Chains A and B, each alone.
Chain A
């Protein structure tokens, strides 16, 4: 029995994370969120419920919005992953991050990376969503501070900013 109980060999994976090629050695059971956080030090994606309910671990996998607690790291071998850390460019916030800043879209902040990544997935598919469409797009994200009103306003602000295009100010006074 000892042989069958032994841990299977680690598997080498290579994936592109936020535009950079990254490699790692993982057990097949390693979840993508743990590989991102502990393997690559990208702690933006949070582990909340760990049961694919809360959405605080949302990232993009090959352009699809997914919950990284319900994807194995080995499934992402060869894939492109975008995390919250990859949204901003050249020290400037992404318009969605700008929206959360301007419209007070966070309280404790735990759900925020997932909320922003879900908003990113929404605005990619639908650049001009109604309030109702925004609320439906957040079906897989929970905010235990119940700050939904301002989260919706933040995404509306971001949609407007993105519609106005690159002439709109996207840098912030954060620094």
Chain B
């Protein structure tokens, strides 16, 4: 199998890349290529041109001040190997280690995954739970988009046609905070049938001060599980309150069924994976 014919560009500056996208509405951005190229080989996507970001300086790497900033072209293996992440946001390295297989992690990128917005991607849910901000550059300049406003629908984000995702900025929460991600993965593809990310913060009195819970794999796009969050805030995190929040988690979600799993089964999995991931995040918050 090979893709349709297309023109290939490998610009060396972001301005040049934005210009190429602005000039050709049929052009697509190529990052690690591990979502786009398989789609093109199956002729599910047939762009007229690819704009490869590989030669643009400054899109790779991880830096930290108050927050952690990850360049869009940073690969999963670079996330796995990052001492900075292991020290400050270990959940990011953990999730990266569970994406695809070793070869996919060699080339697949964080920015590519978020811009592609596969409905079963792991990092979309994690970025929602972490409250990350996405930086995008286009012909109108640079803007910051909160993760909550970034993932719009299946394979659709808030990025404009000539905008390029350049970085992700993740706040590093202070105090007693626990972060976790778990998925029930499809045994063949490894994609999440249901994946849930949770970031729980405890107050001085030990009750849940804030909760961000996000679900992937079971709806057109990753989304916050508002019902689970509401059930946790203000509560002591006991096995009972966590079980109740997990039971509430499917509420308000647009859960879909497909060849792999019915909507009913996925809804059940949300409660099971939800309980496990909330237990893990709560244990990590307690320290």
Instruction: Number of B interface residues at 8 Å Cβ cutoff, please give it.
Output: 32
Which residue of B is nearest A77, CB measured?
A: B10
Point out the residues of chain A lying under 8 angstroms from B34, CB to CB: 52, 70
* A77 to B55 CA separation, bound complex (whole angstroms): 11
Q: Which of B1, B8, B38, B102 contacts A137 (CB 8 A)?
A: B102
Query: Is A51 a contact of B50 with CB atoms below 8 Å?
Result: no
B135: shortest Cβ distance to chain A, in Å? Answer: 24
Q: Does A24 contact B (CB under 8 A)?
A: no
Interface 9-mer from B82-90, B103-111, B218-226, B245-253: B103-111
* A139 to B54 CA separation, bound complex (whole angstroms): 26
Q: Which of A8, A34, A61, A139 contacts B2 (CB 8 A)?
A: A34
Query: Is A75 a contact of B5 with CB atoms below 8 Å?
Result: no
A142: shortest Cβ distance to chain B, in Å? Answer: 10
Query: Is B2 a contact of A30 with CB atoms below 8 Å?
Result: yes
- Interface of A: prevailing SS: mixed
- Supposing A50-B41, A70-B33, A72-B37 touch, asked if A55 and B103 sit within 8 A by C-beta, the answer is yes
Q: Does B100 contact A (CB under 8 A)?
A: yes
* A74 to B40 CA separation, bound complex (whole angstroms): 15
Query: Is A140 a contact of B104 with CB atoms below 8 Å?
Result: yes
* A34 to B1 CA separation, bound complex (whole angstroms): 10
* A75 to B109 CA separation, bound complex (whole angstroms): 15
A-B contact count (CB 8 A): 83
A56-75 interface bits toward B, Cβ cutoff 8 Å, 1 = contact, 0 = none: 00100100111100111011
State which residues 1-27 of B face A: CB under 8 Å. Answer: 1-8, 10
Q: Does A128 contact B (CB under 8 A)?
A: no
Q: Which of A30, A53, A64 contacts B77 (CB 8 A)?
A: A64
Query: Is B8 a contact of A74 with CB atoms below 8 Å?
Result: yes
* Contact count band on A: 20 to 34
Query: Is A118 a contact of B107 with CB atoms below 8 Å?
Result: no
Q: Does B148 contact A (CB under 8 A)?
A: no
Q: Which of B8, B30, B52 has the most CB of A within 10 A?
A: B8
Q: Does B258 contact A (CB under 8 A)?
A: no
A12-29 interface bits toward B, Cβ cutoff 8 Å, 1 = contact, 0 = none: 000000000000000111
Q: Does A11 contact B (CB under 8 A)?
A: yes
* A28 to B198 CA separation, bound complex (whole angstroms): 42
Q: Which of B4, B40, B100, B102 contacts A65 (CB 8 A)?
A: B102
* A50 to B8 CA separation, bound complex (whole angstroms): 21
A67: shortest Cβ distance to chain B, in Å? Answer: 5
Which residue of A is nearest B50, CB measured?
A: A28
A47: shortest Cβ distance to chain B, in Å? Answer: 9
* A71 to B277 CA separation, bound complex (whole angstroms): 35
A123: shortest Cβ distance to chain B, in Å? Answer: 12
Query: Is B2 a contact of A118 with CB atoms below 8 Å?
Result: no
Point out the residues of chain B lying under 8 angstroms from A122, CB to CB: 102
Query: Is A58 a contact of B38 with CB atoms below 8 Å?
Result: no
Q: Which of B6, B100, B106 has the most CB of A within 10 A?
A: B106
- Supposing A51-B41, A52-B34, A75-B54 touch, asked if A11 and B106 sit within 8 A by C-beta, the answer is no
B33-73 interface bits toward A, Cβ cutoff 8 Å, 1 = contact, 0 = none: 11001101110000010101010000000000000000000
- Supposing A58-B103, A64-B107 touch, asked if A29 and B77 sit within 8 A by C-beta, the answer is no
Point out the residues of chain A lying under 8 angstroms from B30, CB to CB: 75
* A31 to B54 CA separation, bound complex (whole angstroms): 17
Query: Is A55 a contact of B101 with CB atoms below 8 Å?
Result: yes
Which residue of B is nearest A136, CB measured?
A: B102
Q: Which of B5, B6, B38 contacts A70 (CB 8 A)?
A: B38
Which residue of A is nearest B190, CB measured?
A: A139
Point out the residues of chain B lying under 8 angstroms from A27, CB to CB: 5
Q: Which of A7, A70, A121 has the most CB of B within 10 A?
A: A70
A-B contact sample (12 more), CB < 8 A, given A77-B10, A140-B101:
A4-B48, A29-B2, A29-B3, A29-B4, A55-B101, A74-B8, A74-B10, A75-B54, A118-B102, A118-B103, A139-B101, A140-B104
- A sample of 10 cross-chain residue pairs with beta-carbon separation below 8 angstroms, ordered by A number, consists of A28-B7, A28-B8, A28-B50, A29-B3, A51-B1, A52-B38, A65-B103, A72-B50, A74-B52, A140-B103
Residues of A within 8 A of B (CB): 4, 7-8, 11, 27-31, 34, 50-53, 55, 58, 61, 64-67, 70-72, 74-75, 77, 118, 121-122, 137, 139-140
